[in-house]
Structure 1
Amino acid sequence: MNKLSLFLALAVCSGTYAESRELPPIINNSTYANGSAYSTRTSANQPMLEMLGRVESLQSDIQQLRGMLEEQSHEINRLKQREQNIYADMHARLQKLESAAGISASTAVVVPKPVSAPVQPAYTGAPVLAAAQPAQAKPKRVKKVKPKSRAEEKEEFDTAFASVKNSHYQQAIKQLEQFLQDYPDGVYSDNAHFWLGSVYKVVNDLPAAKKNFQAVYTQFHKSEKAAMAMLKLADIYSEEKDAAKARKLYQKISTQYPDSTAAHMAAKEL
């Protein structure tokens, strides 16, 4: 009985002591840890976000530049095609004229009449007084000619080529001859020789035509007109019944310019 009372007393005392003791504060470690991690992660990702923004801006600029480049390429191709169409049309027109039966009088080449030598008076035995020598004129000062620009060269060639297109052949001959005097090694000199040879062929001045066609592929062998000029010259030899020279040029075209249109045309002639 005494032991049971003592045990109950001890239990009551321990419970009372436990209730009177203060509990430590509760710390929410999970919340504190998550907040710290979020703040650290935000500050670490800031440079990455800025870099992504710059990359997107660069990609936008590249797309704009690609668009501009495509537009310029399309415009260049359009201009090249337009120039090729003009040349093709001129070739067709000149070939029709070359194959025509006759040439009109307005386009025929006028050959100047030979000037007869002056008749010397018969000797009469009387002394002939020497004519008074005129006073020598002072030499004129030669003005320095300013070299012409690339734009002026193109403008003069376009003017001459317009005369060819409009069938003003005598005017075209004068303009192209003058152009070649002003620009013997110009950017358009190969074209000038080619069209001058074509016009001379139309007006039936074959020696001048052959001379200009030959100048294209000998002086400007890398020109786009070189193969066609060689073909034109070979056609003239063929018309003159000079089969050996014509065949030699046809074979030369196939060797030097195998992928050109002139080479395919030469192969048909061979």
Structure 2
Amino acid sequence: MKPKKLLAAIMILSGSTQILAAPAPVSEAANSQSSLEQRIAQLESMMKTRNLLQVELQQQLGLLQDEVSQVRGVTEEQSYKLEKVLQRQRELYQEIENRVSKVYEQASSSVATEVVIDSSQAVSSDLSENEAYDKAVALIMKDKRYDAAIPEFQSFLTTFPTSVYIPNAHYWLGQLLSIKNDDENAIGHFKTVVDNFADSNKRPEAMLKLGTLYEKQGKVELAKSILTTLLNEYPSTTAAKMATERLSKI
């Protein structure tokens, strides 16, 4: 081949190579565009997933807040109820204390009256008998130990069964047991005084107490009967005046 023709051929081939190589940048741009779109799609997918997670977390947080509110409401309600219970207990304790104080004051007044009556009755010549009786009475008058006085009087009845203080001891036991709301045993001691010691100056008071306890138990006819007997047998006594008032209310 001639040099000129060879040179021309080379130039043609060189140009064709450039022409064939020219489309390469277009393909790379297409690939780059596709990769960018994929990344954008991935980012959108990630954003969508994150948004869904945020919504779910907000829902769970809302549920937790509702549960906390419910628990707080229950706790406040329980605290309110507990405070009401504690307040009621305090009121009951105060009421019990007031009632006990009132009973003790009444018992103390009753004891003071009875001691005056005791001074007008027969006195034993037995020193130990007098000491035992005085000890039991002192537990009521001086020490205000009403519970401790009960076994002392019970022991006195056993130790000195023929003592002149026997009706007094029964009467005191009736008084002390009625304060403790042991009505049945109190009635037994008052009945002993009424039925067995007609000459005792404790008998009118025992009859009054007996009628009061019968009324308390709902035994109205028995109460009326014993109080009426008291009025008939001891019309001028203080016990009779109190019996009149009680009968008017039955």
Larger relative contact order (Cα-Cα within 8 Å, sequence gap ≥ 6)? 1
Q: Whose radius of gyration is greater, 1 or 2?
A: 2
Q: Hey, which of these two has a bigger chunk of helix by percent? A: 2
TM-score by length of 1: 0.45
TM-score by length of 2: 0.49
